[in-house]
Each structure stands twice: as C-alpha cells, then as structure tokens.
Amino acid sequence: MKKDWIKIGVSVALLLAVTALAGCADQQQIAQLQAEKAALQEQNRQLQELAGPLPASLDNYFPPKAQGPVWLIEMFGLATPLESIGVDLQQGDIAGAKANYAAFKAQYAKMAEMVPEWKDLFPMAPVENLGKALESGDPGQIGPAMGAVGQVCGGCHLVNQSKAFFKYHWPDFGVLSLTDPVSTESVAWVDYMRMMAEAFTGIGNDLQQGQVDNALQNYVAFSARLKALEQEGCAKCHSTARAYFVDAASLAMVDQLGQALKASPPDAKAIGDLSGAIGNEICMKCHLVHVPAASAKERWEAFAALFE
C-alpha cells in the first residue's frame, strides 16, 4: 500500500513538473512571438519612413498650390545662417556667429510649425545646446554642438530630400513625348529613345552584314533623332541649353561618323572608334545622370502608393 502511495506521489510530482515546463515553454514562445512582432513593427516603421509618401501638408509649399517652391526657399533661409555660423567662427567673429545663430534658431522654430507631421523632426535640444556652446566660446563645445545640429538636418534629408526631388522637381518621363523627325509623328519618350538606340545599333549590325546602304539609313535616322533631342527633348525639363551630351563637340562626333560611313570603302576601325566614343561619351554618360533618378522615382512612387 505504501508503495502505491509513493507511485502516486511520484506521478503527481512528474505531472506538476511537466505542467510547469509546459508553462515555461508557453511563456518562452509568447516572449519570442512578442519579440518577432516588435521587430516586424520596427521594420514596417522604417519601410514607411523610407518609402512612404511625403506629408500631405508639404503640398501647400510647392506648385501648383503655391506660387513657387516655398519650402525650398525657407530651407535656404535655414541653411544660410547655420553655415554662416561656421564662416564667422573661422574668422573669429563671435558676435556675427551669435547673430547668425539667433537667425537660425528663429527660422528653425518657424519651419518646425509649417509641416505638423514633421514637428518631431525638429528637436530643439540640439539647437539650444549650440547656443550654450557659442556662449561658452569653447571650441571643444562648439564643434560637437554644430555636429549634432548637422546630424538632425542630415538625418531628415537622408530620408526625405530625394522624395521631395522626385515629387516636386523631377518630371515624369512617362508623360513626355517628342516629334520623331523620321516619321514626323508624336512619339512617347521611351519609344523615342528605343528607336534612337535601335538605329544606332543598326549601323554596326548592317556593316557586319555588308549592308552599307542600310547602315547609312540607320545613321541618318540616329543622327536626326539625336539632334532633335538636343533641339526639343532636353527643353522638356531644362530651361537652358545643355553644355554636354548634345553639345557641339558631341554632335561633331556624330557628323564624323557619317563621313566615315560615306567613305569608299567605309573605314571599319574609324567607325568602330567613333561608335564607341558616341556610346560612351553621349549615350552612357547621359544615362548615368538621368536613368538612376528616373528609376528611383518610379520605384518610390510604386512603394508610396502602398501607404496611401
């Protein structure tokens, strides 16, 4: 009988131990799930910060709601006195540095109220610390204080400046069109660039196939489209004449290519060298400037739409 009670006691102890272990396991699992949830929430916050849309109230400070880029002008009004503090300090003009600090602080406080969604991006503590450091006159305090304010500015710019460029300053290539000088028809920008690239590629392709007349036809189409791009295309976004990619020296290379193609027989090496130069100095360098920004704008708009 005693052995039976011992067995029962052991069984109960084992049951309690198993139950306790199960409870610990459940608590560990819950803790792990909570940690994973917190990590996912932080990742979502960062994604929304990086890829989400700009605050709707920022639209009030850019066309068409405003007459001009008001926010950008106000930002210049913020940057100028801050940078001038450094200039004055280098010149030993402490009074000038303090005056510029006062102007900076006032503009900083003003801009903190202009976009309510961004108020937290304008902490006052670093600005107040800069004022104290300037009052101390100690370069060992002023340098780090200036750096802290710069980190506030840089952190916001890192996340939001490109978005503002994309939304308010970069036109959308997808809505632009050009008159094709070959067909005289209006052509979407992307199709125009594709036809120009195909004509350029066709020059070398036709020469390799011994079709000189076809190569010349492709050259005429390429040359006409590139020169029309200089005359009409760049002006879609730029208000001044371009001094590169479609400048006189670049277009002269294109003319030299035409002359090499008309030689009898065509000089394959000269044509290859000129084609390479045109591809590297005109096409590639223009793409290096414009394609990354256009692609980034397109990707950002696609992500931003997810948060609307």
Tell me the residue range of the domain where 21 lies: 1-36
Residue 295 pLDDT level (bands cut at 50, 70, 90): confident
Q: Which of 128, 147, 169 delimits the end of a domain?
A: 169
Tokens of 55: 């605050």
Same domain, 213 and 140: no
Q: Is residue 209 part of a domain?
A: yes
**Per-residue pLDDT reduced to its tens digit, 152-200:** 999 999 889 988 998 898 888 888 999 999 999 999 999 999 999 999 9
Same domain, 264 and 234: yes
Q: Is residue 286 part of a domain?
A: yes
Phi, psi of 80 (to 5 degrees): -60, -50
Residue 236: what pLDDT?
87
Give the mean pLDDT of 95-122.
96
Q: Is residue 48 part of a domain?
A: no
Same domain, 163 and 178: no
User: Which comes out higher in pLDDT, residue 127 or 242?
Assistant: 127
Q: Is the pLDDT of residue 229 over 90?
A: no
Same domain, 187 and 286: yes
Residue 8: what pLDDT?
52
Q: Is residue 47 part of a domain?
A: no
Residue 218: what pLDDT?
95
Q: Is residue 45 part of a domain?
A: no
Tokens of 157: 């710019």
Q: What is the mean pLDDT of the chain?
A: 87
Q: Is residue 42 part of a domain?
A: no
Same domain, 115 and 227: no
Same domain, 72 and 139: yes
Tokens of 265: 């027989």
**Per-residue pLDDT reduced to its tens digit, 52-106:** 789 999 999 999 999 999 999 999 999 999 999 999 999 999 999 999 999 999 9
Residue 186: what pLDDT?
95
Same domain, 76 and 91: yes
Q: Is the pLDDT of residue 6 over 90?
A: no
Residues 6 or more apart whose CB falls under 8 angstroms from that of 21 comprise none
Same domain, 70 and 186: no
Q: Is residue 3 part of a domain?
A: yes
Same domain, 190 and 233: yes
Same domain, 187 and 230: yes
Same domain, 139 and 28: no
Q: CB–CB of 61/70 below 8 Å?
A: yes
Q: Which of 124, 143, 169 delimits the end of a domain?
A: 169
How many domains is the chain partitioned into structurally? 3
Phi, psi of 298 (to 5 degrees): -65, -45
Residue 193: what pLDDT?
94
Q: Which of 169, 202, 234 delimits the end of a domain?
A: 169
Q: CB–CB of 166/301 below 8 Å?
A: yes
Same domain, 125 and 177: no
